[in-house]
Structure 1
Amino acid sequence: MKRIHRTAAAAAVVLPLGVLAACDSGGGEEPSGGDVELTLAHSYTEDQPQHTCGAEVIKQEAEAADVGLTVEIYANSQLGGDADRIASVQSGDIDLDLQGASALAAVYEPAGVLDAAYGFDDAEHLTRFFTDGSADQLVQDFKDASGGVSILGAWSAGARHFTANTAIREPADLEGLRMRFPGSGQYLLNAQALGAQATDVAYEELYLALQQGVVDGQENPLTNIDATNLVEVQDVLSLSGHQQNSNLIVAAPTYDTELDDAQRAALDDAVAAAVAQMPGCVAEAEKKILDGWRESDAIEIVDDVDTTAFAAQTDAWFRENLEGDSLAVYEAMRDSAS
């Protein structure tokens, strides 16, 4: 975070907040509320909902509050990949970031459980988990483990679904298929719980791996499937909705120490506004994608997946195989289901 001070000649001098704090004569006092420029980073393109309805809304709402906040957005992993950026948030070099739960697991492993298959019933359930108090213990434990990084809110960027060259309607249909899953811990646990044979392929190499038959299928949100043109190399989309693609808005430790009350409140309200808009924005984008595929017959769409059978299988697996704080997070997720 950077605070902008102007001289009598109106020349702007920008210094890191930590330097300014050290120069304050009343160390430990409430910040005085000077102008603050925040960096907001994420890994998505500028036409994806995470940017248009997420990052852009946070910027607009925070600046419109007129409490001295400006927000500079860095999309497309301009400030590094997820693992690099969460380290930069911890150090205060990045002020705000959009991160998936599995990336946060590198800091505090139980946070990855937020990406558990069928852990959330739907996008509304994920949002409610973070607004009704159910996530309070997880948020505090993450803050303690990360050295003061705050989770300001969360949303689903869409459910993840299966594609393959055959329909996947029930767990048995995954048998014998080499399914690409991301290589992070919780995704590999999801593969086991779902009964899938997981194969690790880089996201950037997925199209070619499917085209060449290195893997038989994969799972991703509709917006990712569309962005990478996977319908060109897959015959069937099975709407399993087996995982909510989580985004968490995290803030550097200086959120607590270098923003005044009005600025923190404005930032919290800005995040809440983005969280409220995201479900409708994602739903609109997904409807447009599905309608386009149906109209063009780009891919067969299977919408009668036995999600009850999948959910029962994964629930039993996670309750048997998770332990400690990870199990506690999973149980809190399921307990918060409506």
Structure 2
Amino acid sequence: MTVRRNQRGIVVTAVVSLPVLLLAACGGDAGGASDGDVEITLAHSYTEDQPQHRCGAQVIADEVAAADVGMTVEVFPASQLGEDADRISSVVSGDIDMDIQGASALGAIYEPVSVLDAAYAFDDADHLARYFEGEAADKLIDDFAAETGVSTLGAWSAGMRQFTANEPIREPEDLEGIRMRFPDSPQFLMNAKALGADATEVAYEELFLALQQGTVDGQENPIVNIDAISLDEVQDYISLSSHQANSNLVIIGEVWDELSTEQQDALQAAVDKAVEEVPGCVEEDEAATLAEWKESGALEVVDDVDVEAFRTQVDSYLRDNFDQEQLAIYEGIREAAE
């Protein structure tokens, strides 16, 4: 097993497979072997207009092309290669090479990583970045790779998640009686209980219709996602609770071991570039979208949410309900806060 640390301190663990060992024995590059151009598939669920694609996936593809190391990255946005759960399985099986996934979705193959999506675990995008530069993140990502064979090349926050509904949400009591959509994952459903919400599980791809038809009354997502699927058309208020950093992890499957050292270095550098750019792009998009909503009245922006009341309630709930391993990860995250 070889362990590499990228520019942001994230440990990338590569489990060397038998074919790679055989190639090395025959004189191949010690970091793997590849003859001719290698095409890497990179999938994600976001639209091409969102910063996760523009400043994330597309930057990775462009940087790899510019490196000219006999490798290209072909990006498949908007769940073209399947929804989150299907794509994770495809990365593990090798049918998809790379993916951009939230931590909770990755919990389907390694449950402890879900804690990265705990409500109020991270204060903001900078806090998430600091965590991934530290030893606590190193251990989590290394354990994830050892358990699944899937390596993590980088991570970023795609914005803080906010509530929308047809009435304002300023304090935990305001969630009572509202059927609030949450993603179908154990950590998100735990977040719902911690926040005091009545969770209804609806797939992201079905969310607009569910709100339009009244299957659910509200939902929570980062601003860039709310805008991308036009939820301002079916909701009246956005309440700036900032209750969760929307994590994105850039993962890669067994193809990593098949790349030459030069190709691995180029791909890692490309991901590092995207990790640096995405948070700034998200911040710019959020500011522009909020300004547009305020001007047009499409969504009334509630900016006097009692965040401390939510935070205190959530922290107490999580500490009472996390198991020992989850609690250790959560405390490691909190220690990275300024």
Normalised TM-score (structure 1): 0.89
Summarize the alignment of residues 87-102 of structure 1 with structure 2, pairs less than 5 Å apart: 87-102=89-104
1:207, CA displacement in angstroms?
Answer: 2.8
Answering whether residue 79 of structure 2 is matched by residue 77 of structure 1, we say: yes
Q: How far does residue 221 in structure 1 lie from its aligned partner after superposition? A: 1.3
Q: Deviations along 1:183-215, whole A, 9 cap, x unmatched?
A: 211110000010111112233333333334332
1:308 — aligned with what? Answer: 308
**What's the counterpart of residue 185 of structure 1?**
186
Counterpart of 1:168? Answer: 169
Q: Which residue of 2 aligns with 1:4?
A: none
| CA distance in structure 2 between the aligned counterparts of 1:329 and 1:49, rounded to whole angstroms | 28
Q: CA deviation at 1:334?
A: 0.9
Aligned to 1:233: 234
Q: Give, in whole Å, the separation in 2 of the partners of 1:73 and 1:26.
A: 33
Return the alpha-carbon distance in structure 1 between the equivalents of residues 209 and 65 of structure 2. Answer: 43
Do 1:102 and 1:186's aligned partners in 2 also have CA atoms closer than 8 Å?
yes
Structure 2 match to 1:285: 285
Partner in structure 2 of residue 330 of structure 1: 330
Indicate the SS of the match to 2:167: coil
Percent identity between the two aligned chains:
60
> What is the aligned partner in structure 2 of residue 152 from structure 1?
153
The question of whether the paired residues in 2 share the 8 Å contact of 1:109 and 1:326 is answered with no
CA contact (8 A) 1:101 1:246 kept: yes
AA partner of residue 64 (structure 1): A
1:14 corresponding residue in structure 2 = none
Equivalents in 1 of 2:203, 2:86: separation in Å?
17
Q: Which range is displaced more, 20-29 or 324-333?
A: 20-29
What residue in structure 1 maps to residue 294 of structure 2?
Answer: 294
Q: Alpha-carbon deviation of 1:246? A: 0.9
Which of 205-214 and 275-284 deviates more? 205-214
Kindly indicate whether the alpha-carbon contact (under 8 Å) linking 2:160 and 2:245 is maintained by their aligned counterparts in 1. yes
SS at match of 2:193: helix
Pairing 1:200-239 to 2, within 5 Å after superposition: 200-239=201-240
- Whether the aligned pair in 1 keeps the contact of 2:47 and 2:228 (CA below 8 Å) is no
C-alpha separation in 2, matches of 1:136 and 1:28: 32
Alpha carbons of 1:324 and 1:235: their partners in 2 closer, same or farther (altered >3 Å)? same
CA shift, 1:61, in A, is 1.3
1:26 alignment counterpart: 25
* Distance of aligned partners of 1:101 and 1:24 in 2 relative to their CA distance in 1, 3 Å threshold: same
CA separation of 1:94 and 1:127: change in aligned 2, threshold 3 A: same
Inter-partner Cα distance in structure 2 for 1:309 and 1:28: 62
- Residue of structure 2 equivalent to 1:141: 143
Match in the other structure for 2:68: 66
- Residues matched between the structures, number: 319
Unaligned runs of 5+ in 1: 1-17
**Counterparts of 2:225 and 2:299, CA distance in 1:** 15
TM-score by length of 2: 0.89
Shift of 1:23: 7.4
DSSP 3-state at the match of 1:76: coil
CA separation in 2, counterparts of 1:239 and 1:173?
13
1:130-174 Cα offsets, whole Å, 9 max, x none, are 12333011101111110x210111111111101112211111211
Q: 1:204 to 1:76 in 2, by over 3 A?
A: closer
> How far does residue 68 in structure 1 lie from its aligned partner after superposition?
2.2
Structure 2: state its 5+ residue gaps.
Answer: 1-16
Offset, 1:41: 1.1
1:337 match: secondary structure: coil
Q: Secondary structure of 2:25's partner?
A: coil
The residue aligned with 1:121 is 123
Cα contact 2:121–2:330 (8 A) shared by 1:
yes
Q: What is the CA–CA distance in structure 2 between the aligned matches of 1:185 and 1:199, rounded to whole Å?
A: 13
Instruction: Note the C-alpha offset of 1:295.
Output: 0.9
Larger Rg: 1
1:69 touches 1:263 (CA, 8 Å); kept in 2?
yes
Give the Cα–Cα distance (whole angstroms) in 2 for the partners of residues 301 and 79 of structure 1.
Answer: 35
TM superposition outliers: structure 1 runs of 4+ over 6 Å: none
**Post-superposition CA distance 1:65-112 (Å, at most 9, x none):** 222221111112222221121122112222211011111001000111
Asked if the contact 1:153–1:275 (Cα under 8 Å) also holds between the matched residues in 2, the reply is: yes
* Paired position in structure 1 for 2:57: 55
The 1:38/1:325 distance shift into structure 2, 3 A limit, reads same
Would you say the 8 A contact 1:21–1:27 is kept in 2? no
Answer yes or no: is the 8 Å Cα contact 1:236–1:301 preserved in 2: yes
Structure 1 residues 251-262: aligned runs within 5 Å? 251-255=252-256, 257-262=257-262
The CA distance in 2 between the partners of 1:315 and 1:97, in whole Å, is 31
| Whole-Å separation in 2 of the counterparts to 1:209 and 1:80 | 20
Q: How much has 1:26 moved relative to structure 2? A: 2.0
SS, match of residue 237 in structure 1: strand
Q: Compared with structure 1, are the counterparts of its residues 130 and 258 closer, same or farther at alpha carbon in structure 2 (3 Å cutoff)?
A: same
Mapped contact 2:182–2:200 kept (Cα < 8 A):
yes
Mapped contact 2:23–2:33 kept (Cα < 8 A): no
